[in-house]
Amino acid sequence: MTDQIERVDVLVSSPTRNYVTLRITTADGIVGLGDATVNGRELSVASYLRDHVAPLLIGTDPSRIEDTWQFLYRGAYWRRGPITMAAIGAVDMALWDILGKRAGLPVYQLLGGRVRDAVPYYSHAFGWDIPALLESVAEHRELGETYIRVQSGVPGLDKVYGVSKNPNYEPAGRGARPSEEQFEPGVYMRHLPKVLGAVREQVGPDVHLLHDAHHRLTPTQAARLAKSVEEFDLFWLEDVTPAEDQEALRMVRNASVTPLAIGEVFNTIWDCQHLIENRLIDYIRTAVVHAGGISHSRKIYALAEVHGVKAGPHGPSDISPIAMAASIHMAASTHNWGVQEYMGYPDLVHEAFPHAWSAADGTLQPGDAPGLGVELNEDILTSESYKTAYLPVARRMDGSVLDW
């Protein structure tokens, strides 16, 4: 076969932060790219790909995308989990990229064509106090954004998720050990309604506001918080409890009509199934890279569509522009779409991964380059080597570990 897979490379690099990139090359020279980045565990995915996946792909037919997915998922015997599913996700993205390039079509066309003219995104406004947050929100409004996530500092806490002194917020700190942060739910829960009230007053009723509680509350605390912010009409309240305790959300659902989003730490449809089938959420947050790629994400979104749930994929700067491309192609062609998270990237990341997709005035466009429409700048990627970095660990004031 002239179009079989001839070469598989795994590139681990760190243009401002660590990324794991899979490159599959066919015998007739077509290159497919996939993102395999799992923030803080990049080397594990790189090894899974290099040691257990790449050798199995050599000589196979890249057009057998679903069969390759099933082979890598079921053939490993041990399944699910962020490392396995990011590795499979990267292969899947790369094979769709190759198919698009061979067909001369952008991936969204292969997925059924456009269902929307532009893909709305939300980015991150944050500030250590309410005045600083309001200033940040105003800056995002000036960019034409109509979906804005708002995160603020909490009085008495010197570090809080989602708030940074660096405009390019990267939660993973470089170093041999994770940093530790203290957090106390009570003071946060009392402060959030003041924050959201001030933002809602500034932007008016038509701007979509989002907030990420980042896994930290008990079910009862989550129910109380969701009820306390109902009047501010959030687009969604995210990760209000640890996602794996899915039945917990029924308490939140019963207490409030604040829309709920969860799932960025999920990696298969089976993780999402209970929440979706019981309509315990409004938006499913799985990212294409972490949930087995395009092929598996399509199945999650289809299950969601049946139950009135929409996609709202995770899209921080710790998924690479390749996975962002895949997500935007899916967003352009998936009916039940809520909003795409898009934090933006430092200039060096855009230079390391030249891409056809674009962001402007609060919306994203996939571009019409064949495949995913992303290239690699190998000079940058080879000059910026991996640097050990970990996401923080949170502890309560009594020293016990809390979800960060």
Active-site residue set:
161, 214
Q: Quote the distance between the C-alpha of residue 13 and its chain's center.
A: 19
Q: Which does 393 bind (CB under 5 to 8 A by kind): Mg ion, ligand CS2, none?
A: none
- Identify which of residues 39 and 68 has a Cβ nearer to ligand CS2 in the complex: 39
Binding of ligand CS2 by 92 (CB under 6 A) = no
Q: Which of 341, 342, 357, 402 binds ligand CS2 (CB under 6 A)?
A: 341
Q: Which of 32, 34, 171, 185 binds ligand CS2 (CB under 6 A)?
A: 171
Stretch that binds ligand CS2, among 25-33, 83-91, 252-260, 314-322 (CB under 6 A): 314-322
Work out the angle at residue 369's Cα, subtended by the Cα atoms of residues 50 and 61, and round it to the nearest 5 degrees: 40
Binding of ligand CS2 by 316 (CB under 6 A) = yes
Binding of ligand CS2 by 318 (CB under 6 A) = yes
3-state secondary structure the chain: CCCCEEEEEEEEECCCCCEEEEEEEECCCCEEEEECCCCCCHHHHHHHHHHHHHHHHCCCCCCCHHHHHHHHHHCCCCCCCHHHHHHHHHHHHHHHHHHHHHHCCEHHHHCCCCCCCCEEEEEEEEECCHHHHHHHHHHHHHCCCCEEEEEECCCCCCCCCCCCCCCCCCCCEECCCCCEEECCHHHHHHHHHHHHHHHHHHHCCCCEEEEECCCCCCHHHHHHHHHHCHHHCCCEEECCCCCCCCCHHHHHHHHCCCCEEECCCCCCHHHHHHHHHCCCCCEECCCCCCCCHHHHHHHHHHHHHHCCCEECCCCCCCCCHHHHHHHHHHHHHCCCECCEECCCCCHHHHHHCCECCEEECCEEECCCCCECCECCCHHHHHHCECCCEECCEEECCCCCEECC
CB of 322 to ligand CS2, least distance (A): 16
Q: Which of the residues 200 through 229 are near Mg ion (CB under 5 A)? A: 212
CB of 239 to Mg ion, least distance (A): 5
Residues belonging to the chain = 404
CB of 27 to Mg ion, least distance (A): 41
Q: Which of 35, 264, 271, 282 binds ligand CS2 (CB under 6 A)?
A: 264
Stretch that binds ligand CS2, among 221-229, 250-258, 310-318, 358-366 (CB under 6 A): 310-318
Q: Which of the residues 356 through 395 are near ligand CS2 (CB under 6 A)? A: 391
The token duo for 387 is: 């640097």
- Identify which of residues 82 and 292 has a Cβ nearer to ligand CS2 in the complex: 82
Stretch that binds ligand CS2, among 63-71, 184-192, 271-279, 311-319 (CB under 6 A): 311-319
Binding of ligand CS2 by 212 (CB under 6 A) = yes
- Identify which of residues 111 and 237 has a Cβ nearer to ligand CS2 in the complex: 237
CB of 213 to Mg ion, least distance (A): 9
CB of 315 to ligand CS2, least distance (A): 7
Which has the closest alpha carbon to 208: 338, 309, 324, 334?
A: 338
- Identify which of residues 65 and 300 has a Cβ nearer to Mg ion in the complex: 300
Q: What's the CA gap between 101 and 104, in Å, rounded?
A: 5
- Identify which of residues 73 and 404 has a Cβ nearer to ligand CS2 in the complex: 404
Which has the closest alpha carbon to 134: 123, 143, 125, 121?
A: 125
Q: Which of the residues 232 through 271 are near Mg ion (CB under 5 A)? A: 264
- Identify which of residues 219 and 263 has a Cβ nearer to ligand CS2 in the complex: 263
CB of 126 to Mg ion, least distance (A): 13
- Identify which of residues 261 and 374 has a Cβ nearer to Mg ion in the complex: 261
Letters for 101-120 (x = contact with ligand CS2 by CB under 6 A, - = none) are --------------------
Footprint of ligand CS2 on this chain (CB under 6 A)? 39, 171, 212, 214, 264, 314, 316, 318, 341, 391
Footprint of Mg ion on this chain (CB under 5 A)? 212, 264
